[in-house]
Amino acid sequence: MTTDADGALPPDLHRPEYGVATLADVLPGVAAALGTPVPRGDLPRDPLGLADALHGARRVAVLLVDGLGADLLRAHADVAPTLAALASPAGTLQAPCPSTTPVSLATVGTGLPPGSHGILGFVTDVPGQGRTLNHTQWADDPDPADWQARPTVFEHVAAGGAAVTAVGPWAYAGSGLTVAAYRGAAYTGAVGPGDLTALMRSALGEGPRSLVYGYMAELDLTGHVRGVDSPSWRAQLALVDRVVEQLVDGLPDDAALLVTADHGMLDVPAATRLDLDDEPDLADGVRLLAGEPRARYVHTEPGAEADVLERWRGVLGDRAWVVGREEAIASGVFGPVEEPLAARIGDVVALARGSWALVSPRLEPGPSRLAAYHGSLTATELAIPLLVATGSALG
């Protein structure tokens, strides 16, 4: 399966509409609402119209719930009545490509597509060093300021005089991903959902103007381990809904709350798991396997790109969209890719179709046992909500 000459994807995969309605457009819109619009090159400063939708709010909280896909939320509205009752100022948004947490967190923090900020996968090659970087286990090598060198929206808003705070898991304080995605915000580590709620509410009261960003990880982890069609996932969603209810109830009169997510998720049954370890031909000419089960980056030995591409296409068939790096970039799924960052993308890119996952129990025993995944470009993985609540003094 290849793209057409105009970069078209297979009909079940979709190119994120950067600068129209994606996760990258949320914080720039908030910045515009707070009177500090962010320069974004060719991208519009507030395509979601948040400056109008937030009705002059001087304090804005943005809660990102990991794994809260819009399709999943619609299917479980009875479990999350507070979320279901919130308004949607710009409809359903799209996650970036790949639709995975590190990429999305850098995308929301910078207000830019992945091809601009350079965090281009869950696990990526570190060019020229013969090793990979797992962005969720990243400390300070490579230096976050070099690996993700673009200014963040938080830096811009803070420079405009607003109090800027990020609240997330205690264990992530000072991590490479936290520094790369949230620098410019004072990071406050939360020890649980109740603590996160209290910390966000407290931070909203700082200064005459404030931006508070919160991140919840537990729903995504529950989905991965138990599946999104499980009692455990629904129970966790109910807890998320309670956090949102508490945030709404505690909003200052001049404040607004936005709730969004980083990606959706889907269960992957045994019948749609391709074990790469059982396909030895796929390893021929491969120097390094990166990415994750639904978004694979294959880095090849010098001169082996064409042969590896042909073999992966032949074995995977319609189970994945398999293209070379240049074709993947030309399709626009990453947004414009800056030349120094392109090598972080595999020589061969394989994005899963349907509910397929490309697992490797030998190389990745933990991730290969998960119940649910994300990372590719199906509608369910890309669709994320954007919901709003406003304080009593706002329209």
Residue 22 main-chain phi, psi, to 5 deg: -130, 175
Q: How far apart are CA 34 and CA 258, in angstroms?
A: 14
CATH T-level assignment (fold) for domain 23-267+379-390: Alkaline Phosphatase, subunit A (3.40.720)
| Rg of the chain, C-alpha, whole Å | 20
Provide CATH 3.30.1360.180 ranges for the chain: 270-371
Q: What pLDDT is recorded for position 393?
A: 76
Asked if 243 and 197 touch (Cβ cutoff 8 Å), the reply is: yes
| 255-261/387-390 β-pairing | antiparallel
Q: What pLDDT is recorded for position 3?
A: 38
Residue 299 main-chain phi, psi, to 5 deg: -100, 125
* Mean pLDDT, 10 residues at a time, the chain of 395 residues: 54 97 98 96 96 95 98 98 96 97 98 98 97 97 98 98 97 97 98 97 93 98 97 98 97 96 98 97 97 98 98 98 98 96 98 98 96 98 98 81
Q: What pLDDT is recorded for position 5?
A: 36
CATH of 270-371, one of 3.30.365.10, 3.40.50.300, 3.30.1360.180, 3.30.565.10: 3.30.1360.180
Side chain identity at residue 31, one-letter code: A
Residue burial 315-341, b: 16+ Cβ < 10 Å; e: rest: bbeebbbbbbbebbbebbbbbebeeeb
Global pTM reads 0.96
State the sign of the Cα–Cα–Cα–Cα dihedral 147, 153, 159, 164: negative
Provide CATH 3.40.720.10 ranges for the chain: 23-267+379-390
Q: What pLDDT is recorded for position 7?
A: 53
Q: What pLDDT is recorded for position 40?
A: 94
Q: How far apart are CA 395 and CA 239, in angstroms?
A: 29
Residue 230 neighbours by CB distance under 10 Å: 16
Q: What pLDDT is recorded for position 395?
A: 67
List Cα–Cα distances, 63 to 109, 212, 385, in angstroms.
Answer: 13, 8, 11
